[in-house]
């Protein structure tokens, strides 16, 4: 039914009456002036002054596009045009604060063949093409009558318009949807500043990644401050100037998912900016964190359509996360309301704007209150944009922007009759079309008398004619045009065609038609139809009064193998108290001087290992889970020194040779299924590394695989900072194709120079800050602070031993080279990762105290791994170098214990030595060995219970424990799989039902 | 104990060698391997075995406790002292010898121009001197099917034993089958815009039609005995219709497997083999009904979908085993050539997730031999088969104990050294390590 109503709404042409010409002071007039300062009064209406105040019988008085008075007793001056709105409602017109209305689309140029490292924007603008703060939407805004009509039909009167291009998108403009002249509809020229993580039309390489976009924004905030405070600056930068000027405006940030909403909020927190975040509608999946971000939101209503799941094989390709989102997305606004997070609603992201009302009603059906809906479409956006004194309410002194409806705006049956913008009337639906449904006595000429039954909606009425004496029914065409009606039919024998045209009027409050018609014979006759009775048919049920739909639970994380919120989940347990666990009679691989202990009990409490002994009695106070470890093995959790799982966006900021400013910690993806898969293989911690696209890559994140928790909660507390360096073919772009030959360096010679240059600059940077900080207060007022540089700051941290290098490396020459650079520049290399030719310079590596993290047996995939040997790990270990095996691969990350076992085969390490390659040694390399990597009293309870000797191909992780919590349990996994199947089955059933009920198919 | 005693008795009579990796011979002398724990590859074991090799063939496989023999009939007698004996592991669906260094274009011979190239043959490009081969061989992989890759019909594969002066020498079975990368119905992903997806589907339909047309044409071509004008592509397809060449159909997703099966039926393919089949668990009935052998995709892989059983790739072999489907393991994927040496560990994982040890071994020895049609020559330790086998100090399916001590290919003892070992020894010496 909703759909049908919508059709009507839009079939009716929007009519536009220009009743008032506002004063356009500066414009000459061709002809005579047409000044009109009349009053218009709207009487006897139910007036929603705002989302919470209603006048049941009110009068609204407007003049010159403004509201003069509103109230129950308003005196109407002489010379007022009066509209009697008895039985009708007036609402403030709606505000959409996220549109591209009237802004031309930015056309993307063809991508250049060679990588573009510098901006192609001409002029004194920012170095980065995606920073377009100098752009003002008002400068390109033009009225778009077609688009305006679309918004008017939906009930909007005011919109914010911005240009969707770039990371800093410049200023947005607030306009009314008037159709007079741009000069009149612009309500606020610079109303907000817009941002995103998407570089848009820019082909400049930087940033190639999400973390690069974050770094670019952070650096630009610093540059803005520097530009503002530095009176002796040596450059003019129109973008930074504009950037600073826009800071006082509302700051709107568009993101692509809930995690990026949190990322934007984090930037906001760092620079004290209260972003208004334009989300995508999945925020309910991590609402606690969204709430804690303290941001305000703009929410779209583009709920996913139902998936085609009738073919069970097709259904397999729709993930549980997608199915659940289909079910739960309409409840997103209701979730926000319940949590009291302020939000505006927008039509943005809707592929078909016709879905706006349908989806808004759906959101209401799913629990959003009508009051909140109205608030989120009027007062909230007005307030967020600082235009609350102009629009959003029906209030004296505000713009005459309001809509007239047939009743409650949110009722599916309600029609919007008129949308007034700045005192200009736009007729959306003819309000005078009465409901014509009913039985009529139809008299044609003198001798024909029938019963005419009219059913259906005004645009597609149907007629049935029953002859007075006959039971035969003839269908008749019924067409309404303005106030006239046309009825046509063929007589029972099919021989006589009758065409009637008449006027619709009313008699005693009931429809009445009369007019002239032509019979088959060509004879003109009079006809009349008099309303006789109701159809007396039960009304079809529609959404009104429906019960609130039942939806599933939010999973943490929101995917298969996540935990339902309501169940006694890890999520909740974490917030409560830590569990105690007692593992009985198990073989313990301590990774310590005690070696391997047989038949011990291990007691875990408060996240720590508190006792390892024979026959431990559980403490009375703790509700210890007891696990029988007979025949099983307990080891420290596996630590993957080189992992790229759980990262949103590209793992490389593959643009500049030095990108020390980017941080993996900004882009942790806590919902990557590979986290769970690795837990299932005994992995408890990872170093999430930047890729190897540049000599100096980004900063690492050290995480524990706390599945279900937020990105920030996954980070290991108080861990040292690490950073990725890289050498060889990848940084020379040797295998990147023939177009990637212009970035410095293209050789190992150039790579060395990149380091010398970087650390030379870092030292100078450090000196300049030291000098500045040594100045007196007075001197500081005269001497501007040096420009902060996030990249150089990371390098200074390296020089100061506050950040540690993991360097991707293969051949001996480059290993040697970096050791020389580090010696002469005064920094230390923490780890060579890959280090496949490490065995050739093991003595030098040993002398430098550098650790190694290598592949067990990879080689032969490129020239620089030609001399890689699987004996590397064993040889380095025997040389006394702290050595780890790593995965660099989500699949191999599932078998690191087996990869470690290969060093028994290749090079003859002992089993204990081999196990340390993937446990204690990576812990040492990551400076975490005081807490993790051993099974000893006092260490973190990050342990794995194996079914077998952990170095055997037969060993399966049965329980993976982090901080004393069981994050993976092989027995529970079985049940989880069953639950996933059940939940999928429930949703598939629901989808099939929805599809049968006519819901559109989602193209994934 | 009795068996060992017998072994000792024999050693009194003849010149017995203990295993020594430096032991190298080139000639096809006769050899008797004694007191080894023999895994026959057909599911059986002989805990204390005697295995006789003569003229490149296995002439005897017997239980030392019951057989009486005269070791004098053998030039060399080796006491294995309980070590493990296995038939040579077979690497089906590999690119061994076609790729030396992935990133170096000049060293790659796997992909031809165009999409339909059944006439292109791997046997002519196989590099018997690949530096990777010795590193694979020294883990017990002694036979490889070598396949062209990419395109719809990338070419015709051949099977080699991993020893030989040249490809001709190494060839075990030339032109064993035609490779087919079955078209993949595009799966709708969020990232793909609907128009792009629609285009992809159109391309898919077109590809499928082209494929059918090619097969129909090739089949019709075959009917005429002496074609005046030869079509090399059609010529190469002849065997696919009379069963003398297998058709290896690479296909992973359930829906594609179903389409492939109807394709097989419609075109009357005589000896089809399904390769990959990561979704096999969803179409078990169909595979079984149609008697289709499966060369299973890499066991060490991630599940296809986020909702799938985390262990699915590990469990799939045992699922197929329980269903009674003939299957073997293979290793197609990233860095597959150098990774071929890990094939025994794929079987090890299959064992951990449900196969018995001997079933796991069968999946890399006798089963691939049967599927490739070479089981009359290799795949198990049986009298009359080629003496292509190896001895490991410990369980060869375990990383930590796979220590290959002896390798015979066609009865010839193989040098187990490789460049990697050389480098290791060289640098151990440099640092004075033992």
How close is the nearest chain B Cα to the Cα of A681, in Å? 10
Is A197:A167 a contact under the CB 8 Å cutoff? yes
**Dist. CA B365–CA B388, nearest whole Å:** 11
Res A432: pLDDT? 59
Instruction: Indicate the pLDDT class of residue A537, thresholds 50, 70 and 90.
Output: low
Pick the CATH number of B2-86+415-431 from 3.90.1690, 2.30.40, 2.60.120, 2.60.40: 2.30.40
pLDDT at A504: 85
> What pLDDT does A840 receive?
98
What is the pLDDT, as a whole number, of residue A567?
Answer: 63
Residues of B in contact with A952 (CB under 8 A): 398, 400
The minimal CB distance from B335 to the residues A319, A858, A907 is found for A858
pLDDT value of position B6? 43
CB-CB under 8 Å, A907 with B424: yes
- Chain A nearest CA to B183, separation (Å): 17
Q: Locate A927 and state its tokens.
A: 């400076």
- Please report which confidence band the pLDDT of residue A232 belongs to, taking 50, 70 and 90 as the band edges: confident
> Which residues are CB-neighbours of A48 under 8 A, at least 6 positions away?
A54, A89, A90, A91, A92, A374, A394, A409
The helix-helix angle for A370-377 and A355-365 (nearest 10°) equals 140
B427 vs A839: CB contact, 8 Å cut-off?
A: yes
Give mean pLDDT, residues A550-558. 94
Q: Closest residue of B to A322, CA-based?
A: B190
Residue A492 and residue A465: Cα distance in Å, rounded? 10
Positive or negative, the CA dihedral A666, A667, A668, A670 is positive
Q: Do A904 and B282 touch (CB under 8 A)?
A: no
Q: Does the beta-carbon distance from B348 to A674 stay under 8 Å? A: no
pLDDT of B333 above 60: yes
The percent of residues above 90 in pLDDT, for chain A, comes to: 78
User: Among partner residues B194, B282, B397, which is closest to A953 by beta-carbon distance?
Assistant: B397
Distance of residue A411 Cα from the nearest chain B Cα, in angstroms: 33
Contact B104 A911 (CB under 8 A): no
Contact A933, A923 (CB under 8 A): yes
Residue B338 is nearest to which of A859, A878, A907, comparing CB atoms? A859
User: CB distance B345–A953 less than 8 Å?
Assistant: yes
More confident residue, A472 or A235: A235
| pLDDT (mean) for A71-78 | 93
Number of residues that this document lists for chain A: 1004
Residue to test with chain A: of B427, B430, B431, B433, most A Cβ within 10 A: B427
What's the whole-number mean pLDDT along residues A817-843?
Answer: 98
Q: How far apart are CA B137 and CA B161, in angstroms?
A: 10
pLDDT of A5 higher than 60: no
Predicted confidence at residue B70, as pLDDT, reads: 84
8-state DSSP, A190: E
Residue A455 has pLDDT above 90, yes or no: no
Residue burial A207-223, b: 16+ Cβ < 10 Å; e: rest: bbbbbbbbbbbbbbbbb
Here the tokens at position A237 are 């930068």
Please compute, for residue A3, the number of CA atoms within 13 A of its CA located in the half-sphere on the CB side: 5
Cβ contact A189:A633 at 8 Å: no
| CA A530 remoteness from chain centre | 58
Is B310 close to A561, i.e. CB distance below 8 A? yes
pLDDT at site B194? 63
- Judge: A904–B402 Cβ closer than 8 Å, yes or no: no
Q: Say whether pLDDT at A456 is over 90.
A: no
Contact state of B338 with A869 under an 8 Å Cβ cutoff? no
Mean pLDDT (whole number) for B87-109: 96
Cα–Cα distance measured from residue B307 to residue B287, given in angstroms and rounded to the nearest whole number: 23
Asked if B338 and A860 come within 8 Å (Cβ–Cβ), the reply is yes
Q: What is the pLDDT of residue A495?
A: 67
For the residues B191-218, what does the mean pLDDT come to? 86
Tokens encoding B155: 């070419």
Residue A992 has pLDDT above 80, yes or no: yes
Instruction: Tell me which chain A residues have a C-beta less than 8 angstroms from the C-beta of B318.
Output: none
Secondary structure class of A451 (helix, strand, coil):
strand
What is the average pLDDT value for chain B, to the nearest integer? 92
Q: A429 near A417, Cβ under 8 Å?
A: yes
> Three-class SS of residue A991?
helix
DSSP A766-835: HHHHHHHHTS-HHHHHHSPPPPP-HHHHHHHHHHTTSEEEEEEE-SHHHHHHHHHHHHHHT--EEEEEE-
Average pLDDT over residues B173-188: 94
Distance from C-alpha of A482 to C-alpha of A432, rounded to nearest angstrom: 9
Distance CA A330, CA B180 (A): 46
Residue B8 vs residue B344, higher pLDDT? B344
Of A149-153, A435-439, A918-922, B393-397, the one with minimum mean pLDDT is A435-439
A140: number of Cβ within 10 Å: 14
CA separation for the pair A651, A64 (Å, rounded): 58
- Across residues A879-893, what is the average pLDDT? 97
Q: What is the 3-state secondary structure (H, E, C) of chain B?
A: CHHHHHHHHHHHHCCEECCCCCCCCCCCCCEEEEEEEEECCCCCEEEEEEEEEECCEEEEEEECCCCCCCHHHCCEEEECCCCEEEECEEEEEECCCCECCCCCHHHECCCCCCCECCCCEHHHCCCCCCCCHHHHHCCCEEEEEECCCCCCECEEEEEEECCCCCHHHHEEEEEEEEEEECCCCCCCCCCCCHHHHHHHHHHHHHHHHHHHHHHHHHHHHHHCCCCCCCCHHHHHHHHHHHCCCEEEEEECCHHHHHHHHHHHHHHCCCCEEEEECCCHHHCHHHHHHCCCCEEECCCCCCCCCCCCCCCHHHHHHHHHHHHCCCEEECCCCCCHHHHHHHHHHHHHHHHHCCCCHHHHHHCCCHHHHHHHCCCCCCCCCCCCCECCEEEECCCCCCCCCCCEEEEEECCEECCCCCHHHHHHHHHHHHHCCC
pLDDT, residue B28, reads 56
Residue A39 tokens, joined: 């009053």
- Under the banding of pLDDT at 50, 70 and 90, the label for residue A380 is very high
Chain A residue closest to B253 (CA)? A313
Q: Which residues of A touch B418 (CB under 8 A)?
A: none
Highest mean pLDDT among A495-499, A756-760, B27-31, B199-203: A756-760
Looking at residues A725-745, what average pLDDT do you find?
Answer: 95
Q: What pLDDT is stored for residue A485 in this prediction?
A: 87
**Measured distance CA(A502)–CA(A514) in Å, rounded:** 5
Decide which of B91 and A438 is more confident: B91
pLDDT, mean of residues B392-404: 97
Over 50: is that where the pLDDT of B4 sits?
no
Categorize the per-residue pLDDT at A578 as very low, low, confident or very high, splitting at 50, 70 and 90. low
Mean pLDDT (whole number) for A551-565:
94
Interface size between A and B, measured as CB pairs under 8 A? 145
Name the CATH code of domain B102-113+176-378 (choices 3.40.30.10, 3.40.50.920, 3.20.20.140, 3.40.50.720): 3.20.20.140
pLDDT at B71: 84
Across A273-282, A291-300, A529-538, A698-707, least confident range: A529-538
pLDDT at position B5 over 60: no
Cross-chain Cβ contact B335/A860 below 8 Å: yes
Higher pLDDT, A263 or A472: A263
- Taking the CA of residue B428 and the nearest CA in chain A, the distance in Å comes to 7
Phi (first) and psi of residue A808, to 5 degrees: -65, 125
Say whether A875 and B188 touch across the interface (CB within 8 A). Answer: no
- Residue A688 is predicted with a pLDDT of 98
- Helices A2-11 and A355-365, packing angle to 10 deg: 150
What pLDDT shows up at residue B147? 98
Question: Given a cut of 70, is residue A572 above it in pLDDT?
Answer: no
For the record, the structure tokens of A884 come out as 């780890």
Q: What distance in Å separates the CA atoms of residue A426 and residue A56, rounded to the nearest whole number?
A: 24
Smallest CA–CA separation between B347 and chain A, in Å? 9
The verdict on a CB contact (< 8 Å) between A1003 and B194 is yes
- Confirm if A416 and A155 have CB atoms less than 8 A apart: yes
Q: Locate tokens 């007239």: which residue? A: A404
- What is the pTM for the complete model shown? 0.92
What are the residues facing A943 on neighbouring strands? A636, A961
Quote the minimal CA–CA distance from A680 to chain B in Å.
Answer: 8
* Structural domain boundaries in chain B: 2-86+415-431, 102-113+176-378
Q: 3-state class of A905 per DSSP?
A: helix
Q: Do A907 and B188 touch (CB under 8 A)?
A: no
pLDDT for residue A625: 86
| pLDDT tens-digit readout, B209-260 | 999 999 999 999 999 988 899 999 999 999 999 999 999 999 999 999 999 9
pLDDT in tens, B270-296: 999 999 999 999 999 999 999 999 999
Taken in order of first residue, the domains within chain A and their CATH numbers are 12-25+35-93+393-434 (2.30.40.10), 438-533 (2.40.128.20), 554-637+933-1004 (2.30.40.10), 642-928 (3.20.20.140)
pLDDT tier at A552 (50, 70, 90 boundaries)?
very high
Q: Terminus-to-terminus CA distance in chain B, angstroms?
A: 35
Q: Is the CB of B400 less than 8 angstroms away from the CB of A952?
A: yes
Mean pLDDT of the A834-850 span:
98
Q: Is B254 in contact with A313 (Cβ distance < 8 A)?
A: yes
Dist CA A643 CA A700 (whole Å) = 10
Return the closest-CA partner of residue B299 out of B356, B365, B346, B368: B346
Chain A residues whose beta carbon lies within 8 Å of the beta carbon of residue B185: none
User: Which residue in the set A317, A862, A914 is minimally distant from B103, CB to CB?
Assistant: A862
Q: Residues near A819 by Cβ (< 8 Å), separated by ≥ 6?
A: A829, A844, A845, A848, A850
Task: Tell me which chain B residues have a C-beta less than 8 angstroms from the C-beta of A898.
Answer: 345, 399
pLDDT interval class at A7 (50, 70, 90):
very low
What's chain A's average pLDDT?
Answer: 91
Q: Is A184 helix (H, G, I), strand (E, B) or coil?
A: helix
Tell me the per-residue pLDDT of A34-60, one tens digit each, with 9 for 90 and over: 778 899 999 999 999 999 999 999 999
The C-alpha of A645 sits at a distance from chain B's nearest C-alpha, in angstroms, of 13
pLDDT of residue A894: 97
Q: Residue A858: is its pLDDT beyond 80?
A: yes
Cβ neighbours of A911 in B, within 8 Å:
400
Whether residue A963 contacts residue A580, with contact meaning beta carbons closer than 8 Å, is answered with no
Q: Could you tell me which residues come within 8 angstroms of residue A979 by beta carbon, excluding any fewer than 6 positions away?
A: none
Shortest alpha-carbon distance between residue A840 and chain B (Å):
7
* Beta carbons of A677 and B132 less than 8 Å apart: no
For A841, half-sphere exposure in the C-beta direction (CA atoms, 13 angstrom radius) is 24
Indicate if the pLDDT at residue A311 is higher than 70. yes
As a whole number, mean pLDDT of residues B148-156 equals 97
Which backbone phi and psi does B233 adopt, to 5 degrees? -65, -50
- pLDDT on residue A612: 97
Q: Which of B133, B310, B432 to mutate to test the interface with A (most CBs of A within 10 A)?
A: B310
3 state SS of A464: strand
Predicted complex ipTM: 0.94
A833-847, A933-947, B192-206, B244-258: which has the minimum mean pLDDT? B192-206
CB burial readout A43-69, b (16+ within 10 A) else e: bebbbbbbbeeebeebbbbbbbbbbbb
Preceding amide of A207 cis, omega within 30? yes
Q: What's the rounded mean pLDDT across residues A127-135?
A: 98
Calculate how close chain B gets to A730, using CA atoms only, in Å: 11
Q: Are strands B155-161 and B171-181 parallel, antiparallel or unpaired?
A: antiparallel
Contact A804, A689 (CB under 8 A): no
Judge whether residue A833 has pLDDT over 70. yes
Classify A299 as helix, strand or coil. Answer: strand
pLDDT tens track for A973-990: 999 999 999 999 999 999
What is each CA distance from A351 to A151, A155, A853, B95, in whole angstroms?
14, 18, 49, 47
Over residues A639-653, the pLDDT tens digits come to: 999 999 999 999 999
Axis-axis angle for helices B232-242, B194-223 (nearest 10)? 80
Task: Using the predicted structure, report yes or no on whether residue A568 has a pLDDT greater than 80.
Answer: no
Among the partner residues A319, A559, A898, nearest to B399 by beta-carbon distance: A898
Q: Which residue has better confidence, B30 or A493?
A: B30
């Amino acid at each position: 039914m909703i759909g049908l109503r919508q059709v009507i709404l839009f079939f009716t042409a929007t009519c536009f009456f220009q009743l008032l010409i506002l004063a356009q002071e500066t414009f000459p007039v061709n002809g005579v002036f047409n000044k009109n300062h009349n009053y218009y009064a709207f009487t006897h209406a139910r007036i929603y002054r705002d989302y919470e105040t209603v006048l049941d019988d009110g009068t609204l008085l407007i003049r010159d596009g403004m509201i003069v008075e509103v109230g129950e007793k308003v005196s109407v001056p002489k010379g007022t045009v009066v509209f009697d709105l008895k039985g009708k409602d007036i609402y403030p017109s709606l505000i959409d604060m996220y549109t591209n209305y009237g802004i031309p689309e930015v056309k993307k140029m063809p991508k250049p063949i060679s990588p573009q490292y510098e901006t192609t924007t001409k002029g004194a603008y920012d170095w980065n093409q995606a920073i377009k703060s100098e752009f003002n939407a008002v400068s390109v805004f033009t009225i778009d009558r077609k688009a305006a009509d679309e918004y008017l039909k939906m009930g909007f009167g005011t919109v914010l318009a911005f240009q969707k291009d770039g990371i800093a998108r410049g200023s947005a403009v607030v306009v009314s949807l008037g159709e007079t002249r741009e000069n009149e509809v612009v309500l606020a020229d610079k109303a907000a500043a817009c941002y995103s993580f998407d570089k848009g039309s820019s082909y400049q390489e930087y940033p190639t990644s999400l973390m690069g976009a974050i770094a670019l924004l952070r650096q630009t905030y610093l540059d803005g401050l520097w530009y503002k405070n530095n009176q002796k600056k040596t450059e003019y930068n129109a973008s930074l100037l504009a950037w600073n000027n826009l800071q006082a405006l509302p700051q709107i940030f568009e993101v692509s998912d809930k995690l990026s909403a949190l990322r934007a909020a984090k930037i906001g927190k760092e620079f004290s900016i209260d972003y208004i975040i334009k989300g995508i509608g999945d925020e309910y999946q991590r609402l606690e964190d969204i709430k804690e971000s303290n941001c305000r939101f703009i929410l779209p209503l583009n709920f996913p359509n139902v998936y085609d799941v009738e073919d069970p094989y097709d259904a397999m390709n729709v993930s549980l996360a997608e199915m659940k989102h289909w079910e739960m997305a309409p409840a997103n606004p209701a979730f926000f309301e319940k949590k009291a997070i302020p939000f505006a609603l927008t039509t943005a992201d809707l592929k078909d704007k016709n879905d706006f009302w349908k989806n808004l009603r759906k959101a209401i059906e799913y629990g959003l209150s009508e009051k909140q809906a109205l608030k989120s479409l009027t007062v909230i956006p007005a307030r967020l944009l600082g235009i609350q004194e102009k629009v959003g309410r029906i209030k004296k002194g505000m713009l005459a922007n309001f809509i007239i409806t047939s009743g409650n705006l949110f009722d599916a049956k309600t029609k919007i009759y008129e949308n007034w913008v700045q005192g200009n009337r736009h007729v959306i639906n003819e309000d005078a079309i009465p409901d014509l449904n009913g039985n009529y006595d139809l008299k044609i000429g003198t001798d024909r008398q029938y019963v005419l039954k009219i059913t259906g909606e005004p645009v597609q009425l149907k007629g049935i004619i029953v002859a007075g004496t006959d039971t035969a029914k003839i269908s008749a065409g019924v067409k309404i045009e303005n106030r006239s009606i046309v009825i046509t039919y063929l007589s029972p024998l099919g021989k006589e065609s009758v065409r009637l045209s008449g006027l619709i009027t009313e008699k005693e409050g009931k429809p009445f038609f009369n007019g002239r018609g032509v019979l088959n014979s060509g004879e003109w006759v009079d006809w009349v139809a008099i309303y006789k009775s109701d159809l007396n048919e039960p009304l079809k049920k529609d959404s009104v009064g429906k019960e609130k739909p039942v939806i599933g639970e939010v999973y943490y994380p929101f995917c298969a193998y996540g935990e339902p919120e309501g169940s006694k989940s890890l999520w909740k347990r974490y917030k409560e108290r830590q569990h105690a666990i007692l593992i009985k009679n198990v073989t313990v691989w301590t990774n310590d001087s005690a070696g391997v202990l047989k038949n011990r009990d291990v007691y875990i409490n408060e996240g720590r290992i508190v006792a390892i002994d024979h026959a431990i009695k559980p403490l009375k106070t703790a509700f210890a889970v007891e696990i029988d470890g007979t025949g099983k093995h307990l080891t420290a959790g596996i630590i993957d020194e080189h992992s790229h799982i759980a990262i949103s966006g590209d793992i490389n900021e593959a643009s500049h040779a030095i990108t020390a400013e980017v941080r993996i910690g900004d882009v942790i993806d806590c919902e990557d299924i590979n986290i769970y898969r690795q837990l299932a293989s005994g992995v408890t911690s990872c170093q999430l590394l930047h890729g190897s696209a540049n000599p100096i890559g980004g900063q690492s994140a050290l995480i524990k695989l706390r599945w279900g928790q937020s990105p920030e909660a996954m980070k290991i507390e108080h861990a040292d900072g690490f950073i990725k360096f890289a050498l060889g073919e990848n940084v020379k772009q040797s295998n990147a194709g023939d177009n990637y030959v212009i970035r410095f360096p293209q050789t190992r010679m150039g790579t060395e120079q990149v380091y010398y240059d970087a650390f030379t600059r870092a030292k100078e940077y450090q000196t300049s800050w030291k000098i500045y900080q040594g100045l007196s207060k007075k001197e500081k007022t005269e001497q501007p602070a040096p420009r902060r540089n996030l990249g150089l700051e990371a390098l200074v941290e390296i020089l100061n031993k506050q950040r540690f290098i993991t360097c991707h490396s293969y051949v001996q020459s480059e290993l040697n080279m970096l050791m020389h650079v580090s010696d002469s520049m005064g920094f230390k290399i923490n780890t060579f990762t890959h280090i496949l030719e490490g065995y050739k310079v093991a003595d030098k590596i040993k002398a430098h105290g550098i650790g190694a993290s290598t592949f067990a047996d990879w080689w032969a995939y490129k020239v620089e791994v030609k001399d890689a040997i699987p004996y590397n790990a064993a040889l380095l270990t025997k040389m006394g170098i702290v050595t780890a095996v790593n995965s660099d691969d989500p699949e191999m990350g599932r078998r690191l214990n087996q990869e470690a076992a290969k060093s028994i085969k290749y090079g003859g390490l002992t089993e204990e030595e081999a196990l340390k390659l993937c446990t204690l040694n990576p812990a040492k390399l990551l400076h975490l060995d005081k807490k993790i990597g051993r099974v000893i009293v006092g260490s973190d309870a990050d342990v794995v219970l194996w079914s077998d000797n952990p170095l055997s191909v037969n060993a399966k992780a049965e329980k993976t424990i982090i901080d004393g919590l069981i994050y993976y349990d092989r027995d529970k996994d079985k049940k989880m799989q069953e639950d996933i199947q059940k939940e999928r089955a429930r949703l598939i059933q629901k989808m099939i039902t929805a599809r049968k009920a006519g819901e559109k198919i989602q193209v994934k | 104990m009795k068996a060992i005693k017998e072994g000792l008795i024999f050693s009194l009579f003849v010149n017995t060698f203990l295993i020594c990796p430096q032991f190298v011979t080139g000639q096809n002398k006769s050899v008797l391997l004694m007191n080894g724990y023999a895994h026959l590859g057909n599911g059986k074991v002989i805990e204390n075995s005697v295995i006789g090799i003569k003229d490149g063939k296995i002439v005897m496989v017997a239980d030392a406790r019951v057989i009486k023999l005269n070791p004098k009939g053998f030039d060399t007698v080796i006491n294995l002292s309980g070590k493990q004996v296995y038939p040579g592991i077979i690497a089906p669906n590999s690119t061994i010898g076609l790729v030396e260094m992935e990133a170096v274009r000049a060293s790659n011979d796997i992909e031809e121009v165009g999409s339909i190239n059944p006439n292109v043959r791997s046997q002519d490009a196989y590099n018997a001197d690949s530096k990777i081969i010795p590193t694979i061989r020294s883990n017990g992989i002694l036979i490889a099917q070598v396949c062209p890759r990419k395109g719809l019909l990338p070419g015709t594969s051949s099977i080699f034993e991993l020893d030989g002066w040249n490809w001709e020498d190494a060839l075990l079975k030339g032109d064993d089958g035609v490779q087919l990368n079955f078209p993949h119905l595009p799966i709708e992903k969020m990232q793909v815009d609907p128009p792009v997806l629609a285009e992809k589907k159109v391309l898919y339909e077109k590809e499928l039609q082209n494929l059918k047309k090619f097969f129909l044409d090739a089949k019709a071509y075959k009917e005429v005995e002496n074609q005046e004008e030869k079509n090399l592509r059609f010529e190469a397809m002849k065997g696919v219709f009379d069963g003398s060449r297998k058709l290896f159909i690479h296909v992973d997703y359930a829906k594609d497997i179903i389409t492939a099966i109807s394709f097989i039926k419609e075109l009357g393919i005589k000896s089809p083999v399904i390769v990959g089949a990561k979704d096999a668990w969803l179409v078990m009935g169909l595979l079984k009904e149609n008697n289709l052998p499966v060369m299973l995709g890499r066991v060490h892989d991630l599940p296809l979908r986020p909702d799938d059983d985390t262990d699915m790739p590990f469990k799939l072999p045992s699922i197929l085993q329980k269903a009674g489907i003939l299957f073997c393991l293979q290793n197609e994927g990233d860095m597959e050539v150098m990774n071929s040496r890990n094939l025994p560990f794929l079987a090890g994982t299959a064992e951990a997730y449900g196969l018995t040890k001997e079933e796991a071994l069968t999946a890399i020895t006798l089963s691939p031999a049967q599927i490739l049609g070479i089981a009359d020559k290799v795949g198990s330790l049986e009298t009359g088969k080629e003496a292509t086998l190896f001895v490991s100090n410990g369980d060869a399916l375990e990383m930590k104990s796979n220590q290959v001590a002896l390798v015979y290919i066609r009865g010839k003892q193989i040098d187990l050294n490789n460049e990697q070992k050389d480098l290791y020894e060289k640098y151990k010496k440099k640092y004075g390590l033992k």
